[in-house]
Structure 1
Amino acid sequence: MTGTPRELLGPGGLVLDVRGRPGPAALRFETAEDGRRTVLRQRERTVLLGGLTGQGCCHDLRLHRLDGYRSPLPPIASSRMRSAADWVHQYARRLERSDATPLDDGRWLLARRTWFEPGVWSADLVRDWPAGLLELYCGGGWHGVLPLRRLSPPDAARVKAYRKHVRDGTLAPVLLWWVPFLDGWLILDGHDRAVAALAEDRTPDCVVLTRLPDEDAWRREAEQPAEGHRRHSARFTGTERQRTALEEGYGAVLAGLPYEPSAVRTWPLTGGTPAWEVLARAAMFQFPGD
């Protein structure tokens, strides 16, 4: 996939309009039992199993990850990191050429992110391997970071090299994938770079990949605020300054709709729950203490 149409959003952001990839994507979620059983596959390799436990609106998601995940980006040379690259555009080009990404038809945002809420990279970073437990709170989610491979220790040779880049301000950003049904991020590329930043008491600089709504979807979403705005404007009796503020607020709402995160596409797991249970038994046999 090359020459993908792009919408530039100023420094640190762009939208890829992916076409010709109807799916399933190479890196994709497959689900069974109304989403209570989840598999993340990269091509045909299972890299994550998830199962919801609990009743009502509050669930825990028990995870088991397997070795074999492959980054969709090629390795980034140390000399390249020192070249002040436009990482959003660099990552976009590399994702276009990769055959191991979540990209399928639709609009995808790539944007720099350098600030995260407290706890995202500490308490809610899943450091355990291979198992993990995500507490999906009622009315929200988990809001943390999930690695797709085992994290290296801070004194590993590659991490030490990256720590110098952190101190020099030249470390390439970590590539994350925003997954709304988890209310959290998966690390697609840069596991060791994340460890290096954290070892230097820094929040990792990131580029976040987010699926956006298609045009038809966000235009449907705009119908309700548009109708409310028409009704409110018809009976508005405030000052001209208040009307200006009303119009500006309405305009901001509409302008943001095309860039709100959209649900990640999931695909039915062939064989349903029995197939998931076979995968789970095989994983437990591999890691009997999990």
Structure 2
Amino acid sequence: MQRSDVTRNDGAWVGLSLDVQDRHQPELCIFTAGPRLLVSQSSKPVLLAAVEEPLQGVDFWRTDEYRSFVPPLRADVGRALSRSPQRWAHRFAHYLIDSPGSPLHEGRWLLSCESPLLRWRHAATSHAEYWSSMLVEGHPNGYIDWFFHSTSFEVLPLRPMPGPGDSRVKAYRKQVREGTLPPVLLWWVSGLDCHLILDGHARLAAAIAESIEPPLLQLHRTMPRDDLATRIDDAVGFYEYELERFAELRAVHGPTVPDGSATAGPQLVRLLHDANTAEQPTWAWPLPGGEGQWHRIAREATLGKDWLRT
């Protein structure tokens, strides 16, 4: 795997680009069968989901099979890496590529400290209230409401969230107050239109209990390298076209017409940044056996319970 830091034009760190090769199907994998999805880890069902027609939401059943591939994060490590999302990203990248149970497969990914979740809280809403509202409720079954939470991309825990009295939450609350809380690792899954918590359920619970903004690292697919090269060529071509257009206008109307760089330059920077960082749809594999197999897995995982909304 090749890693490279992604920065903005002003040098601000955005995230870590991961170029993964020779990893065709990950151990944490999404399968599809028509409008039904299965999230599986090491061949065990983690999450069963059924998209409701007409695309208003998703019914889900969460099993207790998910296991984080990130080992327990010691307090001294939290202090050593505190307030450095860049160093945390490199550490989590190591776990993502080397540990079993990771969702990484071949292609380009971004592990970023910039998540849309961090931009939507209204100033009058406390962090505790906001982050509690972004959590999808329900265990073992629940509903991701696309209609009510349109484009707000909720957070779906892969196991029940611990309460404020949990021993791990209590320990992390101390780190919250010290400013050394490790980030919560999220995975953006387009087929669910929400973020899955890969690691940090107790850390997020601690941040909510202390009503602070949790540090986040968001993982999502980005544009494949071949497509990225094409997008870069298109952006540069557009920039050159704009400069030529302004040059022609200057030739006709004189030097009072600007040369175009003041508008085309910043637009080129935005196009290049978006091409390098924008979210791409999450890969999913056809479920062998199709919907029939999905229903068999669902009956076994739910002990035959009728959990789908009607």
The alignment's TM-score, normalised by the length of structure 1, stands at: 0.87
Which residue of structure 2 aligns with residue 72 of structure 1? Answer: 69
Question: Which ranges of structure 2 fall in alignment gaps of 5 or more residues?
Answer: 8-12, 122-128, 251-256
Which residue of structure 2 aligns with residue 249 of structure 1? Answer: 267
Asked if 2 retains the 8 angstrom alpha-carbon contact of 1:121 and 1:144, the reply is no
Which residue of structure 1 aligns with residue 211 of structure 2? Answer: 201
Secondary structure of the residue that 1:122 maps to in structure 2? helix
In structure 2, distance between residues paired with 1:165 and 1:267: 39
Secondary structure of the residue that 1:209 maps to in structure 2? strand
In structure 2, distance between residues paired with 1:182 and 1:289: 18
Asked if 2 retains the 8 angstrom alpha-carbon contact of 1:29 and 1:38, the reply is yes
Alignment CA distance shift 1:146-1:139 (3 Å): closer
User: Percent of aligned positions with the same letter in both sequences?
Assistant: 34
Q: Report how far residue 231 of structure 1 moved.
A: 5.6
In structure 2, distance between residues paired with 1:16 and 1:150: 30
Alignment CA distance shift 1:169-1:255 (3 Å): closer
Residues 265-280 of structure 1: matches in 2 within 5 Å? 265-280=283-298
In structure 2, distance between residues paired with 1:13 and 1:255: 12
Asked if 2 retains the 8 angstrom alpha-carbon contact of 1:113 and 1:205, the reply is no
Q: Report how far residue 223 of structure 1 moved.
A: 6.4
Alignment CA distance shift 1:59-1:107 (3 Å): same
Aligned residues: 282
In structure 1, distance between residues paired with 2:74 and 2:180: 12
1:50-72 CA deviation, whole Å, 9 max, x = no partner? Answer: 001122xx421111110010101
Residues 7-46 of structure 1: matches in 2 within 5 Å? 7-10=4-7, 11=13, 13-22=15-24, 24-33=25-34, 36-46=35-45
In structure 2, distance between residues paired with 1:97 and 1:278: 32
2:173 is the alignment partner of 1:163 = yes
Q: Report how far residue 177 of structure 1 moved.
A: 0.7
Asked if 1 retains the 8 angstrom alpha-carbon contact of 2:242 and 2:260, the reply is no
In structure 1, distance between residues paired with 2:297 and 2:152: 25
User: Which 10-residue stretch deviates more, 280-289 or 90-99?
Assistant: 280-289
Secondary structure of the residue that 1:195 maps to in structure 2? helix
The one of 215, 219, 224 aligned to 1:214: 224
Alignment CA distance shift 1:222-1:140 (3 Å): farther
Asked if 2 retains the 8 angstrom alpha-carbon contact of 1:140 and 1:183, the reply is no
In structure 2, distance between residues paired with 1:285 and 1:272: 20
In structure 2, distance between residues paired with 1:168 and 1:251: 37
Specify the code of the residue in structure 1 equivalent to 2:97. E
Specify the code of the residue in structure 2 equivalent to 1:73. V
In structure 2, distance between residues paired with 1:221 and 1:37: 33
Residues 1-290 of structure 1: matches in 2 within 5 Å? 4-10=1-7, 11=13, 13-22=15-24, 24-33=25-34, 36-55=35-54, 58-84=55-81, 86-113=87-114, 115-118=118-121, 121-137=131-147, 141=151, 143-221=153-231, 233-236=243-246, 237=249, 239-240=257-258, 242-285=260-303
Specify the code of the residue in structure 1 equivalent to 2:225. E
In structure 1, distance between residues paired with 2:58 and 2:295: 15
Q: Report how far residue 282 of structure 1 moved.
A: 2.4
The alignment's TM-score, normalised by the length of structure 2, stands at: 0.82
In structure 2, distance between residues paired with 1:157 and 1:139: 32
Q: Report how far residue 284 of structure 1 moved.
A: 3.3
Specify the code of the residue in structure 2 equivalent to 1:9. V
Q: Report how far residue 224 of structure 1 moved.
A: 6.0
Larger radius of gyration: 2
In structure 2, distance between residues paired with 1:147 and 1:138: 19
